[in-house]
Each structure stands twice: as structure tokens, then as C-alpha cells.
Amino acid sequence: MPMFVDDSPAGECIFCKLVTGEIPSAKVYEDELTIAFMDIGQATRGHVLVASKRHAANLLELTPEETGAVMQTAQRVAAAVNQAFDPDGINIFQANGAPAGQTVFHFHLHVLPRYTCDGLAITWQRQEPGMPVLDELAARLRQALA
């Protein structure tokens, strides 16, 4: 039972087709495990996606090797974005599950160049519940990690 809804079986999803070249993409980089290409809907100028080549719906389905590889590719792409577009900052964004904003259920992360006053809002409300609550939450995670 997958953790999040994956309505795109391996080989049939849009990014699998992009990996095989069945549908076109503006490719930036590829290696054995990863591929980077321009997002068709540019949130900001130079917005790139870094995807696993193998179909994995989300972060929890990547192997440890793929997890390392996608972040290494993201760093390479971020350096290239920095050189090519001279942004004022860069966000790395990655969604798991529809409630988190995921719309394509094949692992990818966004490399988002940021420009002063670009109008892109990534915001959330912060709560400070205090140390007893933080300690309890941390204890649950330590148990899950054990």
C-alpha cells in the first residue's frame, strides 16, 4: 500500500515518458540515476526540475543511492542556475502527496531561482509549542528511527 496516492504506474507517467524521450523536454543534464529539465511552467525564470530516472512516486520510494544522487544533481544545477541567470537566491522545493502540493507522482525536486520582488510566495504560519511538546515529538521520531 503506497504512502501517498500514485495514479501513474511506472512507464506510463509523464516523467517516465520524458526520461525515455517519448515526450520532449528541454533537457539540462542527465546521469545514470537522475535527469534535469526545464519546468514547462516557469514559476520564475530558469526554474528546473531534477527527477529520478527510475519511477518512484515520492521521496519515500527512492533508494538511498537515488536520494544522494538527486541532491548532488540539484547542487550542480543550482550552481549552473547561479552562473547562467545570476538570481538573488535559490529555493529547493519538493512535494510528497497531493495535500503537500504534488501534481506529478514521479519523484522530482524544484530548483527555483529567486529574484528580488519576483512575487513568488512560499509562506507558512509558525507555532512555538514549547519544549515539552517538542521533546514528545522528538521522542516519537527517535522511536520511529530506531
Residues serving a catalytic function are 108
Judged by DSSP in three states, 30 sits in strand
Q: Which three cell numbers stand for residue 61?
A: 520510494
Over the window 8 to 47, marking each residue x when it contacts ligand AMP by CB under 6 A and - when it does not, the resulting string is ------x---x----x-x-----------x-xxx------
Residue 93 neighbours by CB distance under 10 Å: 13
Report in angstroms how near the CB of residue 54 gets to Zn ion at its nearest.
8
Dihedral sign of CA atoms 133, 122, 48, 88 in order: negative
Judged by DSSP in three states, 4 sits in coil
Which position among 101, 120, 137, 138 is part of the footprint of ligand AMP (CB under 6 A)? 101
Residue 129 contacts ligand AMP per CB under 6 A = no
Which of 100/133 has CB closer to ligand AMP?
A: 100
53 contact, one of Zn ion, ligand AMP, none, CB 5-8 Å limit per kind: none
Report in angstroms how near the CB of residue 34 gets to ligand AMP at its nearest.
15
CA-nearest of 112, 62, 76 to 91 is 112
CA-nearest of 109, 101, 105 to 35 is 109
Residue 103 contacts ligand AMP per CB under 6 A = yes
CA-nearest of 109, 117, 121 to 81 is 109
Residue 89 contacts ligand AMP per CB under 6 A = no
Question: By the criterion CB under 6 A, which residues form the site for ligand AMP?
Answer: 14, 18, 23, 25, 37, 39-41, 49, 95, 101-104
